[in-house]
Amino acid sequence: MTLRFCSIASGSSGNCIYVGNDDSGLLVDAGISCKGILESLKNIGVCNSSIKGILVTHEHSDHIKSIGAMSRKLNMPIYANCKTWEALDGSVGKVKAENIRIFDTNKGFYIDDIYVSPFSISHDAADPVGYTFSFGSKKVGLATDLGYFSQTVREALKGSAFVMLEANHDIEMLKVGSYPYFLKRRILGEQGHLSNEASGYAACELVDLGVKQIMLGHLSKENNFPQLAYETVKGILEQKGIAVQRDVTLDVAPRSSISKVFSV
């Protein structure tokens, strides 16, 4: 029994994640073009017919750009909670009634043989969620767009072998950068995004919970870069006596191309 995870795109320009097993696959968000998503799935050897649905984390444009088009093209359901559907407010175009699937946040459900568990996160959206996915004894988690690493997030990710964790920005780069003051405040706030430093301390907690593989994601193009995110998180892990590669593997998701495919 193998569960696979791949980042198709991750960042403020667009987000899309693939999770699947030998029989079924799911997408989380579709914030890049249909063409880009379909080409990426082909490149990792995933057949379109195996994709059973799109799960939405929240309604921001970098997460929903193509969810309606993907649903129409592949006749697949879109899963979101009630407040997120309301916030979408027709922005995804016409979706068949049978492809509108509403779930309750914090209540798990099956899509084929993959168990999906949404959990609440702190972000400036209607009712944003992260997800964990379980297949047999295997579990992986997705936790990005986090204002902070809450107890709810911590408990939800417990038992995961792999987690994609936000490392959005370097605080000093953000402070001295060109963003307007209100946007800097938003990003730094408790409904904003996780910094590299905060991600490092969250990663320590994840390792204590038994997580063996971490991929950093949702990096800002303007206020971060991959090596800085990696070295900051690695440094904090090692300060806590956690050796990267020995105790946990650490990777960084590319902003606009596919990551490697992780298997648990």
Amino acid 146: pLDDT: 97
The conformational region for residue 89 under phi > 0 = left, psi -120 to 50 = alpha, else beta, is: left
Amino acid 70: pLDDT: 97
pTM: 0.96
Question: Which three-class secondary structure state does DSSP give residue 144?
Answer: coil
Q: What is the mean pLDDT of residues 73-98?
A: 95
The per-residue pLDDT for range 201-241, each reduced to its tens digit, is 999 999 999 999 999 999 999 999 999 999 999 999 999 99
The one-character DSSP state at 22 is S
Q: What is the average pLDDT score of the chain? A: 97
Q: Residue 90: is its pLDDT beyond 90?
A: no
Amino acid 95: pLDDT: 95
Structural domain boundaries in the chain = 4-257
Q: Give the integer Cα–Cα distance in Å for 10 and 7.
A: 7
CATH superfamily for domain 4-257 = Ribonuclease Z/Hydroxyacylglutathione hydrolase-like (3.60.15.10)
Lookup: tokens for 123: 């972000």
Q: Residue 102: is its pLDDT beyond 90?
A: yes
The conformational region for residue 14 under phi > 0 = left, psi -120 to 50 = alpha, else beta, is: left
Amino acid 106: pLDDT: 86
- Going by DSSP bridges, is the β-strand pair 213-217/162-166 parallel, antiparallel, or unpaired? parallel
Q: Residue 47: is its pLDDT beyond 90?
A: yes
Instruction: Give how far the C-alpha of residue 154 lies from the chain's centroid of Cα atoms, to the nearest Å.
Output: 15
- Going by DSSP bridges, is the β-strand pair 262-263/162-166 parallel, antiparallel, or unpaired? unpaired
The per-residue pLDDT for range 19-39, each reduced to its tens digit, is 999 999 999 999 999 999 999
Instruction: Give whole-number Cα distances, 45 to 40, 50, 132, 193, 240, in Å.
Output: 9, 11, 23, 32, 38
